[in-house]
Chains A and B, each alone.
Chain A
């Protein structure tokens, strides 16, 4: 590693550089800064002449923050902090060319051990990957888990206490075809069941990604029938074929932001009010709702948004005496109409 400038530089070590008021963001707490530095030092050792911008991106902080971090290093070193004890940081190169060169810190050559949360989070995530069908080299996942377990030691044992199950086996074949099309960048043809309308639909889809949400697999892609980005639950795919046609995902197609959950009702959707008996309260666990109001006798008044009246009718029929639609009134009438129509077949 290139040595930093000599003793002349050290005489300029003054606190003035750090006087700027520190924002109270977590990345800026002393604890976060020290934790970051203990990883940054070995990184800089294994990546000589790293760029400030690259390190900032890697650690998810601003370039200014990286410079502030390096200024802390500049004041750190062996006990007593005599000449030659300080960690050497070429601050001129940092501020000039944006290149980082650090030396005289051989005693901090390796990062900290993995904490329990770190080891468990990664190992559980890897096990989850391994259970996704058709998408990963399980061999690589297994080997990575073993190596992490060895490196993490005792901390890794806790990973056994966290289990994430993926409903993957039943859709393994569909997942394999989807993955193949993703890798080959080919179009797919789907026969897809839409339970809300109980329809089998035929559609061409240009695959964008395979996502696992809440333990279930979905294909996200550009649907030529809907002319927009759609998510398809793999266990509702009746049939799938990879076509000998290259996928052409339009440039305006954006993957959906799934942070708000899979069902993202729009404010334009119809507002429906259900009244649920105790045995019908499960609806509140399964569907996002606008408001829930406790009623006497453990009943619940639930207001939710729906894009599709067919879906509401189905849910209301399924609920039977455990819940009913109270508003809008014409939708409520549709439900009783549907029940009357169904009953006719038995009379």
Chain B
């Protein structure tokens, strides 16, 4: 069967169900939609089932039902126009321009296509998505992690999933069972947040640390998702903490170095004669700051507090202790 003949059959099926006043019985469909009539019973059944499925996949709302309250009548099919058609939408030029730009944001293949087909639908009703007025601005959102798409679908369909995830410090992945609520990008990295049925608590997982496939772990619509505010709060509380700095360190920084430290400094005492500045930096953890100071090598020297100084010295000694 040629592909064009199939396209014609699908088009004619859509038109048939869309223009009908009520449910169209299957036998009538077989009669009036070209391509069905010359099939035997089994072939017609298979063909019709597959056609309906393919049309539903692209968002065409084919309903099954009958007007007969006793249900004796052969089931029929219809497409309700108000569920089929894009409702009235008019965009001002500036709105259309940002929509046109939005269509280019996703780098993920499927979402990039979905954005384009959405804009085509808008263009079909006269929206001119001219992005020329926006200047040279190009936001890009990725989603390249292999786990991204199965998790997006799972969130969309409210479908439980199972996957192996490894924590940062161990290479041993653990099996997780999750009812996903939301996918989120935070500092450029994708996470999924949901209810971990094994741990019986909300959990958040970094997608790049998911190992292997994301498997379906139950039927679609299998759970309730809490209100968006609750999900946001859960995500915020599970995100790596961003504690406000409460401690202050003084460090000596060579002129022309330590720009990252200087940018956060609350006080810089410059001494032109020595070639060094004394910089006061707010911070939260001795270990974290020591790690950063060590990365500057001989250009930065920790002065106070003594715990910070000790942490730096300990790290430097550890590097020298490791046999090269």
Min distance, Cβ B306 to any Cβ of chain A, angstroms: 11
Q: Which of chain A's residues has its CB closest to B11's CB?
A: A76
CB of A279 within 8 A of CB of B169, answer yes
A164 cross-chain contacts in B, Cβ below 8 A: 141, 184-185
Chain A contact residues, CB within 8 Å of chain B: 15, 18-19, 22, 28-31, 33-35, 37-43, 46, 58-60, 68, 71-73, 75-81, 107-108, 110-122, 124-126, 128-129, 132, 135-137, 139-141, 143-144, 147-148, 150-151, 153, 158, 160-167, 179, 182-183, 193, 195, 198-200, 207-216, 238, 258-259, 278-279, 281-282, 285, 294, 298, 300, 313-318, 320-321, 324, 329, 332-333, 335-336, 338-346
Point out the residue from B90, B120, B137, B321 that lies within 8 Å of A136, measured CB to CB.
B137
Contacts of A315 in B (CB 8 A): 295
Closest beta carbon of chain B to A144's beta carbon, Å: 4
Chain B interface residues (CB < 8 Å from chain A): 2-8, 10-12, 14-16, 18-20, 32-34, 54-55, 57-60, 83-92, 94-99, 101-103, 105-107, 110-112, 114-121, 123-126, 134-142, 152, 155-156, 168-172, 181-189, 208-209, 225, 228, 231-232, 235, 256-260, 263, 291-292, 294-299, 301, 309, 312-313, 315-322, 324
In the complex, the answer to whether A281 meets B140 with C-beta atoms within 8 Å is: no
Residues of B within 8 A of A151 (CB): 86-89
27 A-B pairs, CB-CB below 8 angstroms? Answer: A15-B2, A34-B10, A34-B11, A77-B15, A112-B85, A112-B121, A113-B83, A113-B85, A115-B59, A121-B114, A128-B139, A136-B137, A140-B98, A163-B185, A163-B232, A182-B136, A195-B260, A213-B140, A214-B188, A238-B263, A321-B322, A336-B320, A338-B297, A339-B319, A341-B298, A343-B313, A343-B320
Identify 16 new A-B residue pairs, CB closer than 8 A, beyond the known A199-B256, A329-B324: A18-B2, A33-B7, A43-B124, A78-B15, A114-B59, A125-B139, A129-B102, A137-B94, A140-B95, A144-B98, A151-B89, A161-B182, A165-B185, A215-B186, A317-B295, A346-B316
Q: Which residues of A contact B172 (CB under 8 A)?
A: 298
Contacts of B301 in A (CB 8 A): 342, 345-346
Question: Looking at the complex, which one of B99, B156, B294, B320 makes contact with A122 (CB distance below 8 Å)?
Answer: B99
Of the residues B6, B105, B156, B319, contact of A321 by C-beta under 8 Å: B319
Main secondary structure of the interface of A (DSSP, over half): helix
Query: What is the minimal beta-carbon distance from A343 to any residue of chain B, in angstroms?
Result: 4
Select from chain B the residue with minimum beta-carbon distance to A45: B124
Among residues of A, the one whose C-beta sits closest to the C-beta of B19 is A107
A212 contact from B55, B125, B139, B258, Cβ within 8 A: B139
Residues from chain A with Cβ under 8 Å of B232 in the complex: 163
Q: Which residues of B contact A214 (CB under 8 A)?
A: 142, 187-189
With A126-B99, A214-B142 already in contact, the answer to whether A77 and B120 are too (CB < 8 A) is no
Pick from A161, A215, A329 the residue with the most CB of B within 10 Å: A161
Known contacts A126-B102, A209-B138: A114-B118 contact under CB 8 Å: yes
**B297 touching A321 by the CB < 8 A rule?**
no
| Given A18-B2, A43-B123, A198-B259, A119 contacting B118 (CB threshold 8 A) | yes
For B8, give the chain A residue with the smallest CB separation: A75
Contacts of B10 on A, CB cut-off 8 Å? 30-31, 34
A76-B4 contact given A137-B94, A211-B140, CB 8 Å threshold: no
The answer to whether A129 and B139 touch across the interface, beta carbons within 8 angstroms, is yes
Taking the closest CB of chain B, its distance from the CB of A42, in whole angstroms, is 4
Contact of B14 among A34, A167, A285 (CB under 8 A): A34
CB distance from A188 to the nearest CB of B (A): 13
Which residue in chain A gives the minimum CB-CB distance to B318?
A321
Give every chain B residue within 8 A of A114 (Cβ-Cβ).
59, 86, 118, 121
B259–A200 touching, CB < 8 Å? yes
Residue B225 contacts which of A38, A42, A161 (CB distance < 8 angstroms)? A161
Chain A residue with Cβ nearest B254: A198
Contact assessment for B58 and A129 in the assembled complex, using a CB-CB cutoff below 8 Å: no
The closest CB in chain A to the CB of B206 belongs to: A285
Residues of B within 8 A of A259 (CB): 107
Is B317 touching A35 in the complex (CB atoms < 8 A)? no
Closest Cβ of chain A to B169, distance in Å, is 5
Chain B nearest CB, measured from A286 CB (Å): 10
Chain B residues, Cβ within 8 Å of A162:
152, 155, 182-184
Question: Could you say which residues of chain A place their CB within 8 Å of the CB of B259?
Answer: 193, 195, 198-200, 238
